[in-house]
Amino acid sequence: MPLLLVDLDNTLVDRDAAFRAASVEFLTTHGLPTVDVDWIMRVDASGYRPRAVVAQALRERYASLDAGSVQAFIDRGAADFVTLPEATRFALRHAVTAGWTPVVVTNGSVTQQEAKLRISGLASEVAGWVISEGVGVKKPSRAIFDAAAASVGARLEDGGWVIGDAPQADIAGAVGVGLPSVWLHLGRTWPSELPFQPTHVADHLPAALDHILTVTRS
C-alpha cells in the first residue's frame, strides 16, 4: 500500500483562514478592535513565528489583558475553526479506494494538531498521523517520515509521495527520504534559491492527489 505523506496546515485544512477566524473571536471576546486581525496575521506569519514570540507581541499590544487569556488563545490557535473542504474529503476517499494509505505528517503541538484532526473530521479519513512534538523530531528530518510510515506498519522503501505547502519542511523532507513530492503553491512562486525542487506543483490538495493517481496508474 503506497503512502501519501500529507502535511496538515494549509495543505489538508486552510489553517490561515481558521486562525483568522480564531483571531476575530479573540478580539471580539475581549472588546478589542477587530481591525487588528490583520496585525495578528502578520505577527503569526502563517504559524511559522515561534508561539512564544507571538504571545509576547500580543501581551505588549494588549497590556491590559490578563496573560491567561492571551495564552489560551495561543494554545488553542486555529483548532476550533478548521474545516475539511468537501473536495478534499472526497479526494482522500478516492485515493484510499485506489489503494493509497494517507498519513498526516505535521510539525506542531500534539494538543493543537490532534484537536484540528478531530474537529475537522480528518481523524477518520486518514490511516494515521505523526506530530513533531509527539515524536520529538520535525520535518524535514527523515525520522518523522520514518515514524509516519511505521505508524501504519509500512516502510518508506515501499514507496509513496509527499504533499505539502512548505518548501523547507515538506519538499526538503521528500527529497531527503528520496520520495517524489507535490508542492501546493498557494499563490507563491517556488523559491529559486533552493537547491531542490518538487516533482510537481499543484493548486490545492485534490489537484495534487489527482496528479499522483494519474501518473502512478499502471
Of 11 and 23, nearer to Mg ion (C-beta) is 11
DSSP string, 22-86: HHHHHHHHTT--GGGHHHHHHHHGGGTS-HHHHHHHHHHHTTTS-HHHHHHHHHHTTGGG----H
Interface residues toward Mg ion, by CB under 5 A: 7, 9-11, 165-166
Of 72 and 186, nearer to Mg ion (C-beta) is 186
> Own/partner pairs for 213-217, CB < 8 Å, 24+ apart?
213/94, 213/95, 213/98, 213/100, 216/2
In the bound complex, what is the minimum distance in angstroms from residue 57's beta carbon to Mg ion? Answer: 22
Of 23 and 113, nearer to Mg ion (C-beta) is 113
In the bound complex, what is the minimum distance in angstroms from residue 46's beta carbon to Mg ion? Answer: 8
Q: Label residues 84-112 b or e (16+ Cβ within 10 Å = b).
A: beeebbebbeebbeeebbbbbbbbbbeeb
In the bound complex, what is the minimum distance in angstroms from residue 195's beta carbon to Mg ion? Answer: 21
Of 1 and 21, nearer to Mg ion (C-beta) is 21
In the bound complex, what is the minimum distance in angstroms from residue 116's beta carbon to Mg ion? Answer: 12
Of 10 and 120, nearer to Mg ion (C-beta) is 10
In the bound complex, what is the minimum distance in angstroms from residue 58's beta carbon to Mg ion? Answer: 22
Which residue sits closest to Mg ion, CB atoms considered?
A: 9
Of 27 and 169, nearer to Mg ion (C-beta) is 169
Q: What is the DSSP letter of 153?
A: T
In the bound complex, what is the minimum distance in angstroms from residue 188's beta carbon to Mg ion? Answer: 12
DSSP string, 158-206: G-EEEEES-IIIIIHHHHHHT--EEEE-TTPPP-TTSS---SEEESSHH
